[in-house]
């Protein structure tokens, strides 16, 4: 059975081992069971009008959900979500005449869980590699939160591949770095990221009690329009797929640990390069994770048309909390930059 279709792992005991095998390789954890002993059948490949398939890019295997035909719009999720976060946009984009593809990032959902490769440069190359593996030269790139950060990076590293950029709930990497170093409010809002820096403990906490902590994060980070129960259940299940808890927080470990290292400093310098793709920047005014004043100012790095959209009463998940409003903004933006 493929990894992404294995039953979720059971709640770990207090003396359970780490999520990785010796040497840093993702462990092949035992399948979980329900209290009556029957294996759970949940899978990330939810049925719908879309098609699921796997493709190779940048040395790994990636799962995508695809719907429609026309210009490519690639949708990249944030944490703790996976491709299903874009279910509303997949159908709307396809109906509007686009080839909509939602990607599972490396280490998440149905994609490979590799022992290394979670720095932003490599993850951005995953994204641009997927575009090429889909047989396209260019794409409209849409990213949320961590996926939005990678969208900024991809637009710098492979500008010829990005036709337009839509960034959701994600500050430009240089703005985020500055805020984490100088802004106490933003650092406090990233308290969960600080907690991810410890070894082993965060992974165990994330999957404990049927991933109850992930449910609390989702509830606390949304605005008045909470995520529906089906969505919360899906994300709690997805984080329990073996090795996902570890792999999905590795980028956050790199974020903080690299700040004083040569690779982190070099990355920050590289991100000074102007972005040449037309950029739509969407931010929820009630986002408690990425504060609005941290995100504001991304246009400083864009040498192309730039639009800032602040959505009142919306938290960290605009595409799920206000899908119709967000999708209207997205369709208008990509429609303006088809050529």
Confidence class for position 145, pLDDT limits 50, 70, 90: very high
What is the C-alpha to C-alpha distance for residues 172 and 270, in angstroms, rounded to an integer?
12
pLDDT at 339: 74
CB 104 within 8 A of CB 85: no
Mean pLDDT of the chain: 90
Spatial distance between the Cα atoms of 297 and 248, rounded to a whole number of angstroms: 27
Helix (H) or strand (E) holding 162: strand 162-168
Please tell me the predicted confidence (pLDDT) of residue 10: 34
Residue 40 pLDDT level (bands cut at 50, 70, 90): low
Q: What is the pLDDT of residues 230-256, one digit of tens each?
A: 999 999 999 999 999 999 999 999 999
What are the structure tokens assigned to 143, written together?
A: 């990213």
Least-confidence region, from 8-17, 119-128, 264-273, 329-338: 8-17
pTM of the model: 0.89
Higher-confidence residue: 7 or 334? Answer: 334
CA atoms of 10 and 27, how far apart (whole Å): 14
Contact 46, 231 (CB under 8 A): no
pLDDT, tens digit (0-9, with 9 covering 90-100), for 177-209? 999 999 999 999 999 999 999 999 999 999 999
Tell me the per-residue pLDDT of 269-294, one tens digit each, with 9 for 90 and over.
999 999 999 999 999 999 999 999 99
Burial letters 154-192, b for 16+ CB under 10 A, else e? bbbbbeebbbbbbbbbbbbbbbbbbbbeebeebeebbeb
Give the whole-angstrom CA distance, residue 67 versus residue 150: 23
């Amino acid at each position: 059975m493929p990894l992404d279709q294995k039953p979720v792992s059971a709640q770990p005991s207090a003396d359970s081992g780490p999520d990785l095998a010796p040497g840093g390789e993702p462990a092949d954890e035992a399948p979980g069971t329900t209290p009556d002993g029957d294996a759970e059948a949940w899978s990330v490949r939810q049925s719908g009008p879309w098609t699921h398939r796997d493709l190779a890019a940048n040395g790994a295997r990636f799962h995508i959900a695809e719907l429609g035909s026309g210009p490519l719009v690639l949708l990249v999720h944030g944490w703790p979500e996976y491709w299903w976060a874009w279910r509303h946009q997949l159908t709307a984009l396809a109906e509007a005449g686009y080839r909509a593809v939602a990607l599972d990032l490396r280490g998440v959902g149905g994609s490979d869980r590799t022992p290394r490769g979670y720095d932003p440069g490599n993850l951005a190359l995953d994204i641009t590699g997927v575009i090429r593996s889909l047989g396209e030269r260019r794409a409209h790139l849409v990213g949320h939160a961590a996926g939005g950060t990678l969208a900024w990076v991809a637009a710098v590293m492979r500008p010829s591949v990005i036709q337009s950029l839509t960034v959701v709930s994600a500050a430009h990497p240089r703005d985020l770095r500055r805020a984490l170093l100088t802004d106490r409010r933003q650092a406090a809002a990233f308290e969960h990221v600080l907690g991810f820096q410890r070894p082993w403990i965060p992974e165990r906490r994330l999957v404990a009690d049927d991933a109850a902590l992930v449910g609390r994060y989702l509830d606390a980070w949304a605005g008045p329009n909470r995520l529906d129960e089906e969505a919360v259940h899906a994300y709690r299940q997805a984080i329990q797929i073996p090795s996902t808890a570890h792999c999905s927080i590795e980028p956050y470990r790199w974020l903080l640990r690299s700040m004083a290292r040569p690779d982190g400093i070099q990355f920050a310098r590289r991100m000074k390069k102007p972005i040449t793709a037309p950029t739509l920047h969407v931010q929820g005014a009630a986002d408690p994770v990425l504060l609005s004043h941290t995100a504001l100012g991304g246009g400083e790095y864009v040498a192309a048309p730039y639009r800032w959209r602040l959505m009142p009463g919306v938290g960290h998940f605009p595409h799920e909390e206000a899908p119709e409003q967000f999708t209207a903004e997205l369709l208008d933006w990509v429609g303006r930059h088809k050529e």
